[in-house]
DNA sequence: AGTGCCTGCCC
DNA sequence: ATTCTGC
DNA sequence: GCAGAATGGGCAGGCACT
């Protein structure tokens, strides 16, 4: 976990990469360590290692190559290749169409439907093996034998290897429509046989990162998209290209957004097409924008809820509440029904201040007219008197 | 076999 | 996922 | 602007215990 940078102790991936680069550079006689150039040489080593890691994020490959060939020659030995998942590019959230237009002013861009499913990075190796990886590079291959099976009819002639970025979405084969994420998450994950898959999925491809031995991440999205469309086939209910629209007027985008929502999608992804349009897994990772329907003004609902309990905080939040249990009053049954927990959106100052405020309201236990479940995660560490009402957006 | 609890993933 | 904070 | 670390709902899976 240390090496994977998942310990949550302030030592995460970037720190590990810096340390590794420095260690190798300093112990390698090939690195010239003159007084004035030392810092520059180290920075250069870090840049190289990070760049290589973004294409081939596996220490099993990078460390041996570093030890054998040194930092300089690392890019010649470690390149993007099917079978090793790369960190998928992520998108910046935006709250309005204006924000999107400001950001992409004077640039060619495209809008795509944002499908409500699971990120799926599909790899075809030269050996013929197929691998499917999740957003966090987990191996989902055993979860999707149905996708594996249908792959031959999706890939075009002459395709011997590729890495595709896509979204796997639950699909209703009778109604021929997209189903919510909740349905998809009901799929089995292990020991799945293609024959007894209950929740059907349709794959929506939206990017191509590698094709027939060639890395495409440095090409622009326009180029990658052409390659995607010319080398793969649409297959009804099984594989489709993410729906896109290149228009840039407010009206066109507005209409497209509404269309996406009608089609059971979450909203739009907006991406540059030509300039700054390469696929950058780690460097400029938030190069795309997402425009979700529930971010938009007036679309989301708000509720007045009563704070009935608090959960003791961990880590940075040790010493006050890390989250709260909220309830809604039902006048018919004369009781407070717990609804949800809330744990983000508080600055540290607000958390400290709130802890003071709730100190006065600590109750011995749950009120008789509190209605809550059995599960321990709805049993707060501290119960409160029902005094504080909060507007929840 | 059934239940409850916990973990580790998705979002 | 969302959100805040330190750099 | 980015990386890191808090936190959410909900699901399948797996373990322990009945």
Taking the alpha carbons at both ends of chain A, their separation in whole angstroms is 36
* Per-position b or e across A83-105, b if 16+ CB within 10 A of its CB: bbbbbbbebeebeebeebbeebe
Dihedrals φ, ψ of A392, to 5°? -110, 125
The tokens 């407010």 sit on which residue?
A250
What per-residue confidence (pLDDT) applies to A276?
A: 92
Cα within 13 Å of Cα(A332), Cβ side: 0
- Give A241 CA → D15 C1' in Å: 42
The least confident of A153-167, A207-221, A311-325 is A311-325
Average pLDDT of chain A is 90
pLDDT digits (tens, 9 = 90+) for A249-299: 999 999 999 999 999 999 999 999 999 999 999 777 778 999 998 777 666
What per-residue confidence (pLDDT) applies to A90?
A: 94
pTM (global) more than 0.85: yes
Nucleotide nearest to A343 (CA to C1'): D7
Q: Is the CB of A136 under 7 A from strand B?
A: yes
What ranges in A244-343 are assigned the alpha helix state H?
Answer: 250-262
- Give A380 CA → D18 C1' in Å: 27
Which pLDDT band, with edges at 50, 70 and 90, does A351 fall under? confident
**Nearest residue: Cα versus C1' of B4:** A375
Q: Tally Cβ neighbours within 10 Å of residue A347.
A: 8
pLDDT digits (tens, 9 = 90+) for A199-241: 999 999 999 999 999 999 999 999 999 999 999 999 999 999 9
Domains of chain A (ranges, CATH numbers)? 2-77 (no CATH), 92-295 (3.30.470.30), 303-392 (2.40.50.140)
Over residues A9-25, the mean pLDDT reads 82
Sign of CA dihedral A101, A103, A105, A109: negative
Which pLDDT band, with edges at 50, 70 and 90, does A120 fall under? very high
For residues A118 and A100, what is the distance between their CA atoms, to the nearest angstrom?
Answer: 24
Nucleotide nearest to A393 (CA to C1'): C2
The least confident of A35-44, A315-324, A338-347, A371-380 is A35-44
Which pLDDT band, with edges at 50, 70 and 90, does A7 fall under? low
What per-residue confidence (pLDDT) applies to A299?
A: 63
CA A214 to chain centre: 25
Residues of A recognised as catalytic? 114
What per-residue confidence (pLDDT) applies to A34?
A: 60
Q: Tally Cβ neighbours within 10 Å of residue A254.
A: 11
| Chain B bases having any atom below 7 Å from a protein CB | 5-6, 9-11
- Give A189 CA → D14 C1' in Å: 13
| Chain D bases having any atom below 7 Å from a protein CB | 1-14
Percent of chain A scoring above 70 in pLDDT:
93
C-alpha closest to that of A180 among A262, A116, A266: A116
Q: Is the CB of A374 under 7 A from strand B?
A: yes
Has residue A1 got a pLDDT over 90? no
What per-residue confidence (pLDDT) applies to A279?
A: 96
Over residues A147-169, the mean pLDDT reads 98
- Give A375 CA → B5 C1' in Å: 9
Gyration radius of chain A's alpha carbons: 25
What per-residue confidence (pLDDT) applies to A70?
A: 92
Q: Is the CB of A238 under 7 A from strand B?
A: no
Dihedrals φ, ψ of A271, to 5°? -135, 140
**Nearest residue: Cα versus C1' of C6:** A10
What per-residue confidence (pLDDT) applies to A376?
A: 74
What ranges in chain A are assigned the alpha helix state H?
Answer: 13-27, 38-55, 59-69, 74-77, 97-103, 145-154, 181-184, 221-231, 250-262, 348-359
- Give A31 CA → B1 C1' in Å: 65
What per-residue confidence (pLDDT) applies to A325?
A: 92
Which pLDDT band, with edges at 50, 70 and 90, does A16 fall under? confident
Has residue A8 got a pLDDT over 70? no
């Amino acid at each position: 976990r240390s090496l994977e940078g998942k310990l949550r102790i302030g030592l995460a991936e970037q720190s590990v990469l810096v340390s590794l680069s420095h260690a190798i550079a300093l112990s390698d006689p090939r690195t010239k360590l003159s007084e004035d150039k030392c810092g520059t040489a180290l920075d250069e080593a870090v840049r190289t290692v990070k760049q290589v890691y973004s294409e081939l994020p596996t220490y099993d490959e990078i460390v041996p190559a570093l030890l054998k060939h040194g930092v300089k020659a690392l890019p010649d030995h470690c390149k993007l290749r099917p079978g090793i998942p790369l960190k998928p590019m992520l998108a910046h959230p935006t709250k309005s169409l204006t924000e999107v237009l400001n950001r992409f002013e004077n640039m060619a861009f495209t809008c795509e439907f944002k499908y409500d499913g699971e990120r799926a990075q599909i790899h075809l190796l030269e050996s013929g093996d197929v691998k499917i990886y999740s957003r966090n590079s987990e191996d989902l291959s055993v979860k999707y034998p149905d996708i594996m099976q249908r792959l031959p009819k999706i890939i075009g002639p002459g395709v011997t290897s590729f890495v595709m970025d896509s979204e796997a979405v639950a699909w209703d084969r009778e109604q021929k429509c997209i189903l919510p994420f909740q349905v998809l998450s009901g799929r089995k994950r292990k020991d799945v046989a293609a024959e007894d898959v209950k929740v059907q999925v349709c794959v929506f491809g939206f990017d191509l990162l590698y094709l027939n031995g060639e890395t495409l991440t440095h090409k622009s999205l326009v180029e990658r998209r052409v390659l995607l469309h010319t080398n793969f086939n649409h297959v009804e209910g099984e594989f489709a290209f993410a729906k896109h629209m290149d228009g840039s007027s407010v009206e066109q985008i507005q209409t497209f957004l509404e269309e996406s929502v009608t089609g059971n999608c979450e909203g739009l992804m907006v991406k540059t097409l030509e300039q700054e349009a390469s696929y950058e897994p780690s460097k400029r990772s938030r190069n795309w924008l997402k425009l979700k329907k529930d971010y938009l003004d007036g679309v989301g609902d708000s509720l007045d809820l009563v704070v009935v309990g608090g959960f003791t905080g961990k880590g940075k939040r040790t010493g006050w509440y890390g989250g709260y249990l909220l309830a809604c009053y039902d006048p018919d049954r004369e009781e407070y029904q717990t609804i949800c927990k809330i744990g983000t959106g508080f600055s540290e100052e607000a958390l400290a201040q709130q802890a003071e405020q709730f100190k006065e309201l600590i109750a011995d236990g749950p009120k008789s007219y509190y209605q809550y479940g059995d599960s321990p995660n709805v049993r707060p560490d501290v119960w409160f008197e029902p005094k504080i009402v909060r507007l929840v957006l």
